[in-house]
A = this chain, B = another copy of it.
Amino acid sequence: MTQKEAAVKGIITKEMEACATYEGVTPEKVREEVAKGHAVIPCNVLHKSIKPRVIGNAFKTKINVNLGISKDSSCYDAEMDKVKCAVDMNADAIMDLSSYGDTTGFRRELIDTCPAMIGTVPVYDAVIHFNKDLKDITSDDFIEVVKNHVKDGVDFITVHCGITRRTMDRLEQQSRLTNIVSRGGALIFAWMKMTGLENPFYERYDEILDICREYDVTISLGDGCRPGSINDATDLCQIDELVTLGELTNRAMARDVQVMVEGPGHMRLNEIEANMTVQQRLCSGAPFYVLGPLVTDVAPGYDHITSAIGGAIAASHGAAFLCYVTPAEHLRLPDLDDMKEGIIASKIAAHAADLAKGVCGAANWDYNMSKARQELDFDKMFELAIDGGVKGRKYRETSPNEENTCSMCGKFCSIRNMNKALNGETVDIL
């Protein structure tokens, strides 16, 4: 029985209980949201090491970390180091985007050892797994790769079902600046172009639902047509695909298969709220999993910032799950430091949104931090800091002349001076 089916039947599973404890809400609240399809608990019955998390607008915003072996960065151990680091930094989910070498071994080790939710994009693996180039992959091959991933224990899979032959026609008629920038979406498009066939993930969606239902794997409906530039945001291609994704969401929900929907992309910040509203309506409130949105195209090297801006706004308006973006986006495969920067930026965006939404417990964290700041208790501040105090302690090595201030203000410190003034003490500055 899937979490969804249990929830609909009024059953509270042990996974729902674990999620409720983590969220600080009642198990019944989790059950209700899962029953409506407004939340998912990606949790393959075979993933024994998992600590389940619930993804939905009513709960803490979750973040995902992408990693995996690729041809240009093919060190197995380096990617496993990233896994350990991501887990230590409390990433909620890890997507294994491996596309080179021993993809199966890597995936299995990840699932054996990792308490975070694990997602994959089977289409990346097809070429590697069968060692056949894209044009020679068959529809059956694609389905077989999905089965392999599901049977290995992944918790959610991205399938680019939304690109149909109609999408292809529309895309070729439109004048998009950046066409399709989804890696999986482009592979599917190229395969369809070369073979003349319909998208197998669309055509054989019912089979995929059956496979996922058996192991309670959550479907993440890939957005092949997400805008890859500010110019293309909220355009006909994007919204046309979202309509298809809405239909596919409803079909999954009707079968009690857990489902979430992937979203933009590059987007002006003033378009984000409307996009969240439209997705929630078209996709019956299914959780929205966004990559960004990146609120400008012009900042290569800083896309963890452009996406933190968009992600915070998106999550405050309904997105439930943020895919991290690192400073290396558009430039290179992120290294460990890039990954850390990306995780922190995403966590900032997620928490800023949780504060805005009034999510349970979110405001306490800020209250305690500012109380420590008011008390000039730097050790407490570092203990509470989002990065576990790493940057703060480093910065603190630049020690101030005046104890319990920082080198920015010294005796001009407003907190020091207000504390003295309110106590009726003389405020000395010289």
Contacts and interface: CB of A to CB of B under 8 A. Distances in A.
Interface of A: 70-73, 99, 124, 127, 131-135, 172, 177-183, 185-187, 189-191, 193-194, 228-231, 266, 268-270, 295-302, 304-306, 308-309, 312-313, 316, 327-335, 344-345, 348-349, 351-353, 355-357, 363, 365-367, 369-371, 373-374, 381-382, 384-387, 390-392, 394-396, 398, 400-401, 406-415, 417-422, 424, 426-430
A363 B230 contact: yes
A259 B299 CA distance: 32
Contacts of A411: 71
Nearest to A371: B177
25 contacts: A70-B412, A72-B398, A133-B429, A135-B427, A179-B374, A179-B415, A183-B412, A189-B418, A228-B414, A229-B369, A229-B373, A230-B363, A231-B366, A297-B366, A300-B381, A300-B385, A300-B395, A301-B394, A302-B391, A305-B305, A330-B381, A330-B408, A332-B400, A332-B406, A332-B407
Contact of A408 (B313, B332, B419): B332
Q: What is the predominant secondary structure among interface residues of chain A facing chain B? A: helix
A34 to B, nearest CB: 26
B186 A333 contact: no
Given A133-B429, A135-B427, A421 B190 contact: yes
Given A178-B373, A298-B351, A309-B312, 15 more contacts: A134-B427, A181-B415, A191-B427, A193-B427, A194-B427, A230-B366, A230-B370, A231-B366, A269-B353, A297-B366, A300-B385, A302-B348, A302-B386, A304-B305, A331-B392
A415 to B, nearest CB: 7
Given A385-B300, A408-B332, A427-B190, A268 B99 contact: no
Nearest to A136: B430
Contact of A355 (B179, B269, B302, B386): B269
B99 A412 contact: yes
B395 A428 contact: no
A227 to B, nearest CB: 10
B370 A414 contact: no
A387 B181 contact: no
Contact of A366 (B191, B296, B385): B296
A421 B193 contact: yes
A355 B230 contact: yes
Nearest to A381: B300
A182 B135 contact: no
A332 B398 contact: yes
A120 B258 CA distance: 58
A178 B410 contact: no
Nearest to A407: B72
Contacts of A193: 421-422, 424, 427
Contacts of A373: 178, 228-229, 297, 330
> 8 shortest A-B CB distances, which residue pairs?
A301-B391, A229-B370, A72-B407, A186-B414, A190-B427, A270-B356, A331-B395, A295-B352
A333 to B, nearest CB: 5
B387 A301 contact: yes
